[in-house]
Structure 1
Amino acid sequence: MGIRGIVALVAAVVVAAAVPAVAEASSLSWRPCATTQEPTAECSTVEVPIDRARPELGSAQLALARLPALDPAHRIGSLLVNPGGPGGSGVGFVQFGGLASPDLARLRQRFDIVGFDPRGDWFSTPRITCGEGLWDPALNRFPATRTEYDALVAHNRKVGEECLARTGPLLENADTQSAAEDIETIRAALGEPKISWLGLSYGTELGAVYASKHPDRVRTMVLDGAVDHARPLRQAILEEAAATEDALVRFADWCRGSADCALRGEDVLAFYDDVVSRAAHGAVWSSDLKRPATADEISAGVYNHLYIREEWPTLGKALAAAGGEFPDAAKLTGRNQFQSPIYGAYRAIGCHDFPSPFTGPADMGAMAGLLRVVAPHSWRYSEYWDFTSGCTGWPIPPKNPPQQHPVKGAPPILVVGGAHDPATPLAWARGLASSIEGAALLIRTDDGHTGLFNSACARAAEVEYLVSGVPPGRGAVCR
């Protein structure tokens, strides 16, 4: 990752106490689980109740991975990390180099880095398990008639019932409120009086809910790529779609004039529209899928390449290949989540937190029309439409629909938002920061999803804050 100048200076130089309080005894037993990327990695598990109000439903085992502090004499405590999702693996993030950037070396020195797989995800058990039919490429997620709408509802109900049959009662308790209480169980098992937190994307919602429930257990907390769970879903759908469109337009402008782009000199948006249009008619092959790619799959693949600014040249090549004389969209379809092993967890958690607001085909059609207005090129894929269209007819009642999670009594929390983030609009970061008493807001003006993955300036500010406890001053900007 390239190094950029830090525009926003830390507002104070007084360093907070390294150790907040006397640690309690840990109840965890760690075993080596080294990888090539992280040879010191250790793994463990912690038990949590599936439903804290109904202990008869049994328990779940959460998988943990830890990188012990490299400078134990100056160890601050445990830094819990969540890479996003819903459904992202904190264990995999820690074990396979998610924090290996030299910019983050101070975190490795001063903290035990702890990743965990939330309930139902990856190496935690029981795992959310759904059938292969969860993603049906033939299904219209933009139904224009009552018949198409009823087909969408029937499909989602059927696959949701199959997920429930395969997973059991955990599926009904896979919401973020329950996962936030799991963090408190992890904290106690670690023997830490307080934790530090680094949450990306969905990890910002999870962290904010935890802080609202247990503000006295927070030492420091970074919420990077902020999700504002208080936002009305219809508003959030349009805001996110507009953010995705903005990122696509910025990529196209760069690509047209850059020697690093395979489509240099082209009208890139017209090229993109043509590929998507041909995919909608079954005319774009994917060797990855061994069938024609759908327009939704093409759009989702482009979207996921927009996450990391340094991947834009790769996106140019992938898009060019999908629109060539002998088109192959494999490099795009291989990067969407529809065939991912965690798509079931993504959908199930999403339906708890972002349930469908649609009342019928006319209502859904009207929202789809607005979607086309705010995102005339990229409208076929945005995450909130994926959630809400996929949750239309979902049979599991939502346990954590959009609501306020105000945070009071915690130390200053750092919220990081990007002006051109394709997944989490800057307005969400502002909204989340306004719900947290004493929050600091750091704004990025560059591209990509989250500062940790795209901005040396943001990484520096996050590291300084996590170590010292002192956030950037008011009006901090990374350009």
Structure 2
Amino acid sequence: MQPLAKALAAALAAGALMLGAGVADAEPSVGAGSSSSTSPGPPPPVDWKPCPEDRAAECGTLRLPVDWARPGGEKFDLAVARRKATDSERRVGVLLVNPGGPGESGVDFALDRATTYFSADVRAKFDIIGFDPRGIGASRPVTCSQELLDRRPSPYPRDQAEFGRLVAYNRELREDCRRHTGAMFDHADTLGVVRDMEALRRSLGEQKINYFGHSYGTLIGEQYAELYGDRIRAMALTANIDHSLGTRDFLVSAATTAEDSFHQFVKWCDRSRSCALNGRDVTAVWDGLLARADRGEIRDPDHPDRALTANAITREAFGTFYGPDWSRLATYVAELDAQTAAAPSGPSTPPNTAREASTAADPFAAVFCQDWRIRAGDYADYARVTAAELRAAPHMRGSPRIHDAVARCIGWPDEVNNPQRRLRITKAPKILLMHSRHDPANHYSWVTNVHRQTRGTTVLLTYEGAGHSVYGRSDCTRGAADAYLTALKVPGDGSRCAAAGP
């Protein structure tokens, strides 16, 4: 999960009769593996116009069904942005991109980041195309009442009563978001995105696409390869999602890799004079800081009238692990640890009546809770899994963002559009999987599980360092991905790139 998010969750759903599996099984006979005589006609082409934000890029929309089971029903506009290949004579094709989330905007990525993220060679040979997945950004976004979002309870209930309040809140928020969003709320899952991407391919008039997916964007790629593998020229997936894990395995593995990232930070701090905590017992300082936060003794530097919770501190640390930006984390911890004043006593959040009638985009749960079947039945069940997380990550206290993601689905209906299952990719070319050994959010075992499930169609390249990003970590990682995308030079399975600096 990318800023994570950029995160994720699970419960094994192996039955072939589940809704998501049943639709997936049927789909290739209509437009994926069928002949042109039975394939649906292409959607109209995107009406490209110069983007208001950057006239060197082109923007447009594609009109698509909200519910692919009812293609003649309600429609929405899929927002798309394109940067044409800078060398038309060497153009290879289109490179569709998803930067993760769920919730990240592919349009924003194409406009704001693509020119510095990808190498000049990739930009020369591909039209880089970003799209906002359904329910996200400018593609009929999921919206909810700001006032309701502002009063979300803790994702760490302490007893059955608090668990019940979390269930009631999640249900209230779900209905509020459905009311503000409309039918899209119930169809924001990744299988819908996959079908949108196939429609975009046909609209572009491309026989085959190239795809680059990061973090949650890898789930889009994996499921596109299942349904439309013969429509892929090349696909590179970084920081991979394993969509076959059960609830406990998912949460415990996420906690384990968050804890590993904490230990990578401690090791760096011990050997680096630039660390603000160098020469101190970093683990003891950290544990002491969280204990003081538990007692309400740490203030939020941005809001001195508020206490800073231990969960807020671990979430901040977790975010720095993505880079990683260990220097920033060390400075943050040192400044909090230096606080000596008494704890705040006033209200933590003053009422804000001006926000009560406003809405805000909040697509995460609409996507995540339709992609994963995770529904703890009661507090005892939830407490057992939470305890396992804490045992796996005593210093990080689990994986804060991924635990939070799982907590958002409690109280939702049991049936989901796209439940977990093992991957079955049969028609795709070789797909490149890339993953950091010390990824803070997506455990390394996730990519090895994906690779094991797709042994005949994937190759795995491991970056031996830390962080959630992979492509731009070193000349080795960038070079391997570029050679694969531009010239279909597949690295040897099991290849490795050495760790670079933070």
Bin of the TM-score, shorter chain as denominator length: 0.7 to 0.9
> Residue in 2 aligned with 1:85?
101
| Identical amino acids, percent of aligned pairs | 35
Alpha-carbon distance, 1:221 to partner:
0.2
1:290-336 per-residue CA deviation (whole Å, 9 max, x = no partner) reads 63333222211110110013x22122222222332269xxxxxxxxx
> Residue in 1 aligned with 2:351?
none
Q: Considering only aligned residues, what root-mean-square deviation do their CA atoms show, in Å?
A: 2.2
Cα separation, 2, equivalents of 1:342 and 1:323: 34
Alpha-carbon distance, 1:160 to partner:
1.1
Cα separation, 2, equivalents of 1:313 and 1:383: 21
Q: Report the 3-state secondary structure (helix = DSSP H, G, I; strand = E; otherwise coil) of the residue aligned with 1:385.
A: helix
Pick closer, same or farther for the CA change 1:398–1:80 going to 2, 3 Å: same
Q: Of 275, 289, 295, which aligns to 2:310?
A: 295
Q: TM-score scaled to structure 2, two decimals?
A: 0.82
- Aligned residue pairs total 438
Alpha-carbon distance, 1:112 to partner:
0.2
Pick closer, same or farther for the CA change 1:251–1:157 going to 2, 3 Å: same
| Contact preservation (8 Å) 1:433, 1:439 | yes
| Contact preservation (8 Å) 1:57, 1:169 | no
Unaligned residue ranges in structure 1 (runs of 5+): 1-23, 328-340
> Residue in 1 aligned with 2:179?
165
* Structure 2 counterparts to residues 133-172 of structure 1, below 5 A: 139-172=153-186
Q: Of 311, 315, 319, which aligns to 2:329?
A: 315
> Residue in 2 aligned with 1:31?
49
| Contact preservation (8 Å) 2:90, 2:125 | yes
> Residue in 1 aligned with 2:260?
246
Cα separation, 2, equivalents of 1:284 and 1:39: 47
| Contact preservation (8 Å) 2:371, 2:418 | yes
Alpha-carbon distance, 1:84 to partner:
0.5
**Alignment-mate amino acid for residue 91 of structure 1:** V
Q: Report the 3-state secondary structure (helix = DSSP H, G, I; strand = E; otherwise coil) of the residue aligned with 1:432.
A: helix
Cα separation, 1, equivalents of 2:150 and 2:395: 23
> Residue in 2 aligned with 1:405?
423
1:374-428 per-residue CA deviation (whole Å, 9 max, x = no partner) reads 0001125434322221110135842112112311111100011221111111111
Q: Report the 3-state secondary structure (helix = DSSP H, G, I; strand = E; otherwise coil) of the residue aligned with 1:441.
A: strand
* Residue 376 of structure 2 is aligned to residue 376 of structure 1: no
Cα separation, 1, equivalents of 2:179 and 2:52: 35
Cα separation, 1, equivalents of 2:487 and 2:309: 49
**Alignment-mate amino acid for residue 448 of structure 1:** G
> Residue in 2 aligned with 1:333?
none
Q: Of 109, 112, 129, which aligns to 1:114?
A: 129
* Residue 300 of structure 2 is aligned to residue 281 of structure 1: no
Cα separation, 2, equivalents of 1:25 and 1:463: 31
| Contact preservation (8 Å) 1:194, 1:219 | yes
> Residue in 2 aligned with 1:190?
204
| Contact preservation (8 Å) 2:437, 2:465 | yes
Cα separation, 1, equivalents of 2:361 and 2:141: 12
Cα separation, 1, equivalents of 2:82 and 2:394: 44
Alpha-carbon distance, 1:457 to partner:
1.6
Cα separation, 2, equivalents of 1:298 and 1:384: 15
> Residue in 2 aligned with 1:442?
461
Alpha-carbon distance, 1:132 to partner:
2.7
Pick closer, same or farther for the CA change 1:183–1:401 going to 2, 3 Å: same
Pick closer, same or farther for the CA change 1:475–1:280 going to 2, 3 Å: same
Q: Report the 3-state secondary structure (helix = DSSP H, G, I; strand = E; otherwise coil) of the residue aligned with 1:419.
A: strand
Q: Report the 3-state secondary structure (helix = DSSP H, G, I; strand = E; otherwise coil) of the residue aligned with 2:220.
A: helix
Cα separation, 2, equivalents of 1:200 and 1:66: 18
1:237-282 per-residue CA deviation (whole Å, 9 max, x = no partner) reads 1111100110011112212331222222222222222333333333
**Alignment-mate amino acid for residue 292 of structure 2:** R
* Residue 478 of structure 2 is aligned to residue 463 of structure 1: no
